[in-house]
Amino acid sequence: MPPVPTAAHDSDDVRAAAAGDRHAFQRLYTLHVGRVYGALQRLAGYDHARAEDLTQEAFIRAWQKLPGFRHESAFGTWLYRLAVNVALMDIRARGADPVSVRDNELLPDPGETPFCAAERGELEQAIGQLPPRARAVLVLHDIEGWRHEDIGDELGMAVGTSKAQLHRARSLLRKALGERS
C-alpha cells in the first residue's frame, strides 16, 4: 500500500491530540481531511453526502483511538487506513453484492470489450454506478494501489474473490463507458 504523504511536523499535534488537546486535533483534521475525504468519496461512489458522513465518522474514531496510536507508522497512513476501514465496514454492514460465478458469466470477456478513453467526470460517474463491493475492490486496487491480500483481509474475502470482484468491476466499468461512447 503506498504511503500517504504527511507533514513531518504533525507528530507534536498527534501527541497533544492523544492527550486530549482538541485544537491540536483540529489542526490534524485540516491537514489530512483532503486525503481522507478523497479516498472515502471514491469508495462511496462519489456520493458526497455519504462521503461526508464517513469522513466525520473516521475522524471521531481517530479521536477515540488516538491514545492507542503507537507511532509505528506515519499518522497520515494510520488515519487513512482507519478511514478506509470505516468505509469498508459500512459496505460490509450493508451486505452488498456478493460476487457469484453466474454474475461473471453474464459479463463480457474483458478481451472483447475495448478500453475506452473517458473524461474524468464520466469515469467517476461510471465508478459510482458500480455495485458497492466491486467498486471497493476496484478503487482499492486500481486507484489506491492496494494488493489483493490486503483487500481480502479488510473486506473479509478470499484473495480469489477479490480478483473476481476486480474482474467484474472492470468489465462493468468498460461496458458502462463503452455504451456512452
Partner 1 sequence: MNEFEWRRQLRELRQPAAPNRDLWPAIDAALDGAAQAATPVQALPSRQRHWLLGAGLAASLLVAGGLGWRLLQAPPGNANTPAISNWKPADPRFAGAAIELDAARMELELAIRQAPDSAGLQRLLRRTEQQQAQLRHLADRAS
Instruction: Catalog residues that contact partner 1 under the rule CB under 8 A.
Output: 18, 20, 22, 25-26, 29-30, 33-35, 37-38, 41-42, 48, 51-52, 55-56, 59-60, 63-68, 114-118, 120, 123-124, 127, 138, 142-145
Say how far apart CA 119 and CA 122 lie, in whole Å.
5
Alpha-carbon distance of 67 to 108, in angstroms, equals: 49
Smallest gap from residue 41 Cβ to partner 1 (A)? 5
Q: Which is nearer to partner 1, 66 or 155 (CB)?
A: 66
Residues 166 and 17: beta-carbon distance below 8 Å = no
Which of 91, 138 has the CB closer to partner 1? 138
Residue 76 or 132 having the CB closest to partner 1: 76
Nearest-approach distance from CB 123 to partner 1, in angstroms? 7
Of residues 33 and 96, the one with the C-beta less far from partner 1: 33
Tell me which residue has cell 465508478. 127
Buried-exposed string 18-37: b where 16+ CB fall within 10 A, e elsewhere? beeeeebbebbbebbeebbb
